[in-house]
Amino acid sequence: MHSLAADIARRLAEEAETVCRHYLSNGRKQGRYWIVGDVQNTPGRSLYVRLSGPTSGPGAAGKWTDSATGQHGDLLDLIALNKGITTLRDTLDEARRFLSLPQTDRHRAANLPASRGSPEAARRLWAIGEPISGTLAERYLAKRGLTGLGHLDSLRFHPRCYYWREEHRSGNPPETWPALLAKVTDLDGRLTGLHRTWLDPATADKAPVSPPRKAMGNLLGHGFRIGEPNGVLLVGEGLETMISLHLALPRMACVAALSANHLAALKLPMGLHRLYIAVDPDPAGVTAAEQMERHAGCSQIDIIRLSPRLGDFNDDLRATGLDELRAQLRPQLAPEDAAVLLDLAFD
């Protein structure tokens, strides 16, 4: 058991940054270290994880110390404390799950590739993404009027994300482009997939590939989420549409279903009493909104449509600015929501 634990600890150390991004997502990379508040993933700067170094001895990769508590150890210790695991066997099982290793000691521990486009592949890609602040993804969003998004931990950036053109299915290698990653989760917050937007570093616009956006994993019924609904929820199709509405109505929980078909199939949380639907003014968007209305109406939920003036709410935001977008939304909201979401928030 000792040699097995040492082997898995070594493999974790080889993927130290990926381990940190997965278990300590509220931290950030600073030089050769990952810095966070504590092993429970609290934001802060007390716990340091070494991301590179020798495989053993002083300064080894994967070693960590919490300067506030004096705790220290390797990445197996960190996983156990992070997940509240009390036995070595259960800790090794959790580490194997993370590394996609066999779940029985009879098999040799070895990394196994995840199927392309699978939820597991989405989880791995998300784990090695980085916060968008200061990246090409932030520049891309800013060109669309979407700024001040550092608080959205459901967005990440990958500098070299694989892109397979249709002709690459014949066996040719993929291209790599920078990409904006948007996390897709279920109602319990579990990652089920990703939405990728490939970017052109020369223009900070979409990359010159077709299509420049693709999803991976399981999106049906799930979505890109901002905030926790408190009886009221706003849903719509596009990522940039819903981020625009979030900026205008930051106190309202939002979900982007990421396509018209997925909007129609979106699963709704329990306890809703009012549902806002941002309707894209095209046949697919209108049909999806109608299907969502029929689905939600069966639960006696009050349904209100929000309509943009232009092609979508991001077009409106870029054309007129945030204050005008809020003024445009005011008469479309229920009066009690306008008072809470607009008057109290911005007056």
CB 218 within 8 A of CB 193: yes
| Alpha-helical runs (H) found in 101-221 | 119-127, 136-142
Do the Cβ atoms of 74 and 59 come closer than 8 Å? no
List pLDDT tens digits, range 209-234.
999 999 999 999 999 999 999 999 99
CA–CA separation, 48 vs 65, rounded Å? 6
Placement of tokens 């020369």 in the chain = 202
Reduced to 3 states (helix: H, G, I; strand: E, B; else coil), residue 29 is strand
Q: What is the pLDDT of residues 41-94, one digit of tens each?
A: 888 898 999 998 887 777 889 999 988 888 899 999 999 999 888 888 888 888
pLDDT digits (tens, 9 = 90+) for 260-288: 989 989 999 999 999 999 999 999 999 99
The region of weakest confidence among 98-102, 169-173, 299-303 is: 169-173
The pTM (predicted TM-score) of the whole model is 0.68
Euclidean distance between CA atoms 261 and 70, whole angstroms:
52
